[in-house]
Amino acid sequence: MTVLTNPNKRPKWQKMSIWGYIALIITTLLSIFPFYWMFIVASNGTDEISKIPPTLLPGPRFFTVVNNVYEALPQFNQALINTVYVGTTVAVAQVFFSAIAGFAFAKLNFRGQKFMVLFVILTMMLPSQLGIIPLFMLMGWAGLIDSLGALIIPALVTAFGVFWMRQVIDAQVPNELLESASIDGAGVFRAYWSIVLPIIAQSSFVLGLFSFLASWNDFLWPLLVLNTPENFTAQVAVNQLKSSYAIDYALNMGGAFLSTVPLLILFVFVGRRLVRGVMDGAVKG
Amino acid sequence: MSQSVAVKRSSKPPSPWKPARPNKKLSNSNAVLSLNGKWGYLFTAPFFVMFLIFGLAPILYSVYIAFFNWDALGTQEFIGMANFQELVADGRFWNALVNTIDIWLLSTIPMLIMSIGLAAVLHNPFLRGSTFWRTILLVPNITSVLAIAIVFGQLFGRDFGMINIIIGSLGFEHIDFVQGTTSSHVAIASMIVWRWTGYNALIFLAAMLAIPNELYESAQLDGANKWKQFIYVTLPSLKNTITFVLIVGTIGGLQVFAEPLILGGSYNGGDSGQFSTLTLFLFEQAFVAYKWGYAAAIGIMITFIVAIVSIINFFITKRLAGDKK
């Protein structure tokens, strides 16, 4: 009855219970722990963690381990530079091509458009590994094996990016704005440049971030096409640290840590935008 | 306005690909007609040209070479369906299929339950610091599978892994996670769950925030408590989102390879193939055995399996969600 008399006042059981916070704190600890553990192992050395109970605190050996990483693979810095270069190029290209195609699919009327959109959606469901052997052959014919081009060129466009930009432009750009611009004499290019682009700048940035992260973390394809250490990406470099006879956990984790820290720093600045991007792109209802 | 339309929308047949904006089918009915549509061909051309060369053509070519005895050395002999016949009789293929489905189930079900639960906690309007919690949820998703597989490989280690130390301190025998079949699947599934639970929780949270408040208010007037509201209001409203997460999870889950590849350190998937997966088997045939025709046939089988499981998922979630109403 209290609800009827005062609908704005929520009953007590709807307030946040302590268990909700406990669940969130446990989730937070579990999410952070592997990163922390990377640093613990890398700063203590393999011997220190190979005892019971293992230490849970940072040790003094971090720079020794970092040195070992650079000794095992002097090109590690080059690998990081390569990864940034590939990731940035791929991100910019994907945003550009996805935005213009997404704009056309969302706002322009042309014959065959319905079929094309369906085609984009269907191809998103194909397993990406299906074409990997012919793609490898194609890179061989094009002379791109063991070059960063083999990572960049096949990744310039994705069906996902086009679909995503179509959703964004459809939801964020009002038709009325485009209509009034075209009445004022703007063509398709002007309308795109002066109306669509400023509105979708935020979402484009998010798509670019996701492309960058995907490129940074791509593992198998770079492993297949890259041979010389000068051309390695961070993931291939970290993988290279795994020797076949004995696993040096400190060395491995040191490499993993060095290849992850740039992403964590990036995340501090863009994490909230990424969260919004994930939630904006969610299927609701 | 958007909320009232959202209610109308849910009465239509559900589609996992439904655009965020309501009343919009896959058509150009929403186009700006005063703009010259012909430019659409130019704007979409770069995507289509590059996608055809680097996306579709390799896939079609892969279908072609599946009918050949084709290896890296240059053998190209047409053998019809022989690759597929060999595959169906290949014990390694069935082993990989069973492992893949097992890992997929072990990861999908806990992930779905936990991510919906976390989303429900975050959905509470009285939660403090919600931006912080949401951001934390995405942290596992940004890092590489390689880095995480290295960490989890150590944590699941037989002698000095943290998990076995905890198991040992509770008085149990240490488990050799990598050598066992089910235990290695648990280790791999835990990496997938760790990586994707928070991401999917954000997806579910976005869907929950889109549920019209009136539904909760009227449930409240009917005397439904929090739990009943969750069962009768929240869950049915999430059916399209659950379908979407399941289908995307299936496409990814049935192609899992990076975690087992790094855990085992080779394309074998463990000493006895105990955690070999379909995609790992494909790569082993393609880049260790160099049997490209055979590997292409495996790829086609994976595609069929993904399609079949996705369709089954789609109908099961529709049925389950429909019954709850």
DSSP assignments along B108-128, one per residue: HHHHHHHHHHHHHHHH-TT-S
Chains A–B, number of C-beta pairs less than 8 Å apart: 351
Q: How far apart are CA B97 and CA B302, in angstroms?
A: 9
Question: Would you give per-residue pLDDT tens digits along chain B (325 residues)?
Answer: 344 444 444 444 545 554 555 444 444 677 887 788 788 899 999 999 999 999 899 999 999 999 999 887 778 888 989 999 999 999 999 999 999 999 999 999 999 999 999 999 999 888 888 899 999 999 999 988 899 999 998 899 887 788 888 888 888 888 888 888 999 999 999 999 999 999 999 999 999 998 888 888 888 888 888 888 888 888 888 888 888 888 888 888 888 998 999 888 888 888 888 999 999 999 999 999 999 999 999 999 998 988 888 788 778 777 765 554 3
Whether the CB of B219 is below 8 Å from some CB of chain A: the reply is no
CA distance B314 to chain A (A): 14
User: Is the minimum CB–CB distance between A153 and chain B shorter than 8 Å?
Assistant: yes
Give A213's contacts in chain B (Cβ within 8 Å). Answer: 142
Instruction: Give the orientation angle of helix B292-324 with respect to helix B239-253, to 10 degrees.
Output: 160
Phi, psi of A198 (to 5 degrees): -60, -35
CATH of the domain spanning A69-280, picked from 1.20.80.10, 1.10.3720.10, 1.20.1070.10, 3.20.20.150: 1.10.3720.10
Interacting residues of B192 by C-beta distance below 8 A, sequence separation 6+: B103, B107, B111, B253, B256, B259
- A6 and chain B: CB distance < 8 Å anywhere? no
CA distance B254 to B310: 10
For residues A76 and A238, what is the distance between their CA atoms, to the nearest angstrom?
9
Q: Which CATH class is domain B85-324?
A: mainly alpha
**Extended beta strands in B190-268, E state:** none
The H or E element containing residue A18 is helix A18-44
Domain parsing of chain B, residue ranges: 85-324
CB A89, CB A152: distance < 8 Å = yes
CB atoms B258 and A219 under 8 Å: yes
Phi and psi, residue A126, nearest 5°: -75, 135
Confidence of residue A230 (pLDDT cuts 50, 70, 90): very high
Written as six digits, the tokens of B277 are 């997966």
Q: Which one-letter DSSP state was computed for residue B68?
A: E
Token pair for residue B41?
């061909």
Q: What is the residue extent of each domain of chain A?
A: 15-63, 69-280
Residue B26 burial by CB count (10 A; 0-12/13-18/19+): exposed, middle or buried? middle
Q: How far is A40 from chain B (nearest CA, A)?
A: 11
Task: List B residues 78-107 in contact with A (Cβ-Cβ < 8 A).
Answer: none
